[in-house]
Amino acid sequence: MLKVTFQDVLKAAVRLKGRINETPLVYSDILSEETGAEVHIKMEALQKTGSFKIRGALNKIDMLTVEEQQKGVVTASAGNHAQAVAYASSLKGISAKIVVPTPTPQTKLDGIKRYGGELIIHGDQYDDAEIYALQLAEETGGTFINAFEDDDVIAGQGTAGLEAFLKVPDIDILLVPSGGGGLLCGVALVAKAINPKIRVIGIQTYASPPWYHAFKAGELVDVEYLPSYAEGLHGGIAQGNFDLAQGIVDDFVLVEEEDVAKAVYWMAKHHHYMLEGSAVVGITALQKGLIENIKGKKIVTFATGGNVDLARISQFYETFEGGDKTQWIQ
């Protein structure tokens, strides 16, 4: 059972101060005009290691005992949490075994190695990688750092939400990309502590919809997973995160893969940020009109990471601009 509280988020914010980037809240005039709302994008893609995940990883590793540090850590991830754990471990000279599934983008694999993690590729999806990582932790005595079902990780991720409220105190709606639910739960804890009327909406893709279906059913359910541009949101969810989210998250929305691809390209073209698919699902939901009752509301969506392969950006460009490369140099 998870026991993380809003107070834990506040403690994490003090612990992390000066060690992470205070990422900007970017106002999107285009999205605001199109939706009739005031839309801000929390640019966690500009965070150290290229995603919000460093918040939770640093907070968790800070809480390890000296004995635990000496035995090292093990984790499983679709990429961003892996890079964060590798980086946070390197700061303390801790060994880190990082297990990722086969579809992990090359840019994330390069980051893991650059930050000093021992890269291990195993399985076709996150669940396969996690099972193997847990086995390694048992064999080596290392501490397994869960990417989302962990009080200290959730508290660290929640600091992204806290920063957003310090910039825009009267937020009405939060749109949170939802994979395992670490960011979702952390941000929701902050929001509901500030004002229970704030709507917290998790966003997933049809290719990886466990939160959506579990929320509708009131319990964890089996779902089919398909290849996704938002690979950072790919994989199952844990009972602890689900139980916590039920009391603080208001709804979930699903978006289509093609619309995710369009949003990645749209952000590069109009706001000049290279974002991964997982980072734009909230933007996608707004563009497709999937969020109800937003006229005149203040909305924050989280651009969770920017670790996207250039080849993918090029692929989207070719698709949506018809190969007219002269547009890049005009």
pLDDT tens digits along 64-97? 999 999 999 999 987 899 999 999 999 999 999 9
pLDDT exceeds cutoff 60 at 323 = no
Q: 59-63, 89-93, 147-151, 326-330: which has the minimum mean pLDDT?
A: 326-330
Q: Where are the alpha helices (DSSP H) in 145-289?
A: 151-167, 182-194, 210-217, 239-246, 257-266, 281-287
- Report the distance separating Cα 131 and Cα 136, nearest Å: 9
pLDDT exceeds cutoff 90 at 125 = no
> For 166-195, what is the mean pLDDT?
98
Task: Tell me the fold of 6-51+150-319.
Answer: Rossmann fold (3.40.50)
pLDDT exceeds cutoff 80 at 171 = yes
Tokens of 254: 């699903």
pLDDT of residue 325: 45
DSSP state of 19: T
Q: What is the pLDDT of residues 287-311, one digit of tens each?
A: 999 999 999 999 999 999 998 888 8
Model confidence band, residue 149 (pLDDT cutoffs 50, 70, 90): very high
DSSP state of 142: P
pLDDT of residue 120: 95
Record the pTM.
0.93
Q: 15-24, 121-130, 185-194, 198-207: which has the minimum mean pLDDT?
A: 121-130
Distance of CA 247 to the CA centre of its chain: 20
Model confidence band, residue 327 (pLDDT cutoffs 50, 70, 90): very low
| Domain 6-51+150-319 and domain 53-144 have a common topology | yes
Q: What is the pLDDT of residues 107-124, one digit of tens each?
A: 888 889 999 999 999 998
pLDDT of residue 330: 32
Instruction: Domain ranges for the chain, please list them.
Output: 6-51+150-319, 53-144
pLDDT of residue 326: 41
Q: What is the pLDDT of residues 213-259, one digit of tens each?
A: 999 999 999 999 999 999 889 888 999 999 999 999 999 999 999 99
- Kindly indicate whether the domain formed by 53-144 is annotated with CATH number 3.60.20.40: no
Model confidence band, residue 103 (pLDDT cutoffs 50, 70, 90): confident
Contacts of 154 (CB under 8 A, 6+ apart): 2, 4, 8, 56, 148, 182, 185, 186, 189, 241, 244
Around Cβ 183, how many Cβ atoms within 10 Å? Answer: 29
- Report the distance separating Cα 139 and Cα 133, nearest Å: 10
